[in-house]
Homo-oligomer: A and B are copies of this chain.
Amino acid sequence: MTRADYPASTYAVLGLVDKVPDSSGYDLAAIADRSLQHFWPVSHTLMYRELKRLTDLGWVTSHRVEQVVAPDKSIYQITPEGRRALREWLHAEAPMGTTYRSAFLLRFFLAHAMHPERIAALLAQYRTALRVRLDALQAVADQLKDTPRARMARLSALHGIRTLTAQLDWVDEAEAELATQDGSGPASAASD
């Protein structure tokens, strides 16, 4: 027992090693950056730390591969114990917590006293940021082969696409609402 439980990132890396065996830490970081960056970012620093932890736990093993064209590297494989730990984690009913923090919304929320133009600029900036992320996600989704194996990856990307699209729609909505000059007058004019 000794119910030590590890951060979700540990299982994220473990799952990647399982999915894409014989990859180096460098490779895995790149893969993480493409596949789960949008809902569970794993930086390269964290990647190496988790790989070390997984190795210490005996959940993955590594093998040295010598290269001439590039520096030597270590490639990783999941072990039976690792596979069991991953399966257990996947089947455990855990809180499935979501953390979401938006510095934009915080600013927006506190911006009640700001100039309308400044608020408009904030919204415009937000829209641009959303578009960039949407384009990136769309590229990921497009690149995914239409195979059953990639189905979960495609659906995961779609989750982000749907979310970002809704948020872009919200920007339009907010702009429209803010265009109606405050609630005091029903429909006065002469703005800006």
Interface residues of A (CB under 8 A from B): 8, 11-12, 15, 18-19, 35-36, 38-41, 86, 90-91, 93-112, 114, 118, 125-126, 129, 146-149, 151-153, 155-156, 158-159, 162-163, 165-167, 169-170, 173-174, 177-178, 182-184
Q: Please indicate which of the listed interface residues A41, A100, A125, A148 has the most CB atoms of chain B within 10 Å of its own CB.
A: A100
Query: Is there contact, CB below 8 Å, between B182 and A100?
Result: no
Chain B, residue nearest A103 (CB):
B96
Query: Is there contact, CB below 8 Å, between A162 and B170?
Result: yes
Cα(A111)–Cα(B153), bound, Å? 10
Cα(A177)–Cα(B151), bound, Å? 9
